[in-house]
Amino acid sequence: MKPRVLLTHPLLPEAMDYLASQVDLELATKEIILPREALLARINDKQGLLCFLTDVIDREVMDRAPELKIISNCAVGVNNIDLKYAWSRGLLVTNTPDVLTEATADLTLALILATTRRLIEADRFCREGRFRGWKIDLFLGQELGGKTLGLIGFGRIGRAVARRARAFNLRVIYHDPNRQEAHLEQELGVEFRPLDDLVSEADIISIHASLTPESRHLISRERLRLMKKTAVLINVSRGPIVDEKALVEALKAGQIWGAGLDVYENEPAIEPELLELDNVVLLPHIGSATHETRRKMCFMAINNLLRGLRGERPNNLVEPNS
Ligand code: DGY
């Protein structure tokens, strides 16, 4: 008998066909949001769960599924899962690291450029038929060469951003709870800074940390006050790392120059005032959204799931202290 698996939302078609050929599959919904009652109702007899960052997998969900063995998250971030409870129940939890590093780093650079060079405002200007000719002060932005990029979080994605930053002649400083060894810092051309020093020194701050209780509102009202007036804040990791209301205030008051956001504190809701501001670029959480990467994420999540269901050790196990 094939193992019973709940898939919360569709995967890419090719991946979903493959999964359906391997397990007894139930798709919870074709909609973007899976109502909680539907998740609770459908998980009950399942041995495997393949879910996404939009699904909150907490104690109540896990308790509904006495036969559950594995939770395979099709995302690198696992803040949507109560990890401690899953581990206490002996459940395997897996994620999809590595395969999305380059796509997310590319998008970070795209957001940095879109924000510093005001690309979205300028595009809107053209579409509105307002372009009447070249002008000396039309859409003046900020140059990257010689500026300081401050990376908060220096894991795989932070390091991939640092590599790209060198091509733009940016100086890179970073903060991470785990400081790199000196030879690696040298190799990557980066310097460590305590967090508050980084925040006040950087011209562009880019967040690449995981969301944990410690990192929630790491960019607080107080830290926004430490930033330069000309600074730009980029967030492609998780929204709650930034106090979004305080960010709106800082942007409105001209306390910082601009922001580029791919993620939001109460996703998919976006602070209404952000929508009114010109000095912010807003994207709908598309950091890893390339054909290549999303395909790899789907198959990685499936392989993790199948290995766990077969009683093998999945390749991308999320473990305490991993
Ligand atoms: C992740 O994987 O955590 C990203 O946010 C979505 O690709």
Q: DSSP secondary structure string, 121-173? A: HHHHHHHTT---S--TTTT-----TT-EEEEE--SHHHHHHHHHHHHTT-EEE
Please report the pLDDT score of residue 127 as a whole number. 98
Distance 285 CA to ligand 1 centre (A): 8
Rounded Cα distance, 293 and 308, in Å = 22
Please report the pLDDT score of residue 322 as a whole number. 72
Q: Does the beta carbon of 75 lie inside 6 Å of ligand 1?
A: yes
Instruction: Please give the single-letter amino acid code of residue 172.
Output: V
Is residue 117 annotated as part of the catalytic site, yes or no? no
Q: How far is CA 307 from the centre of its chain?
A: 26
Please report the pLDDT score of residue 321 as a whole number. 78
Residue among 64, 117, 216, 285 flagged as catalytic? 285
User: Of all protein residues, whose CA lies closest to atom 2 belonging to ligand 1?
Assistant: 75
Is residue 267 annotated as part of the catalytic site, yes or no? yes
Q: Does the beta carbon of 248 lie inside 6 Å of ligand 1?
A: no
Q: Does the beta carbon of 110 lie inside 6 Å of ligand 1?
A: no
b/e sequence 250-270, b meaning 16+ C-beta within 10 Å: bbeeebbbbbbbbbbbeeeeb
Q: Which residues, in sequence order, are bridge partners of residue 4?
A: 24
Q: Measuring CA to CA, which residue among 121, 120, 206, 141 is closest to residue 170?
A: 206
Q: Does the beta carbon of 239 lie inside 6 Å of ligand 1?
A: no
pTM of the model: 0.96
Rounded Cα distance, 28 and 41, in Å = 10
Rounded Cα distance, 199 and 175, in Å = 10
Please report the pLDDT score of residue 289 as a whole number. 98
Q: Does the beta carbon of 288 lie inside 6 Å of ligand 1?
A: yes
Low-confidence ranges of the chain (pLDDT < 70): none
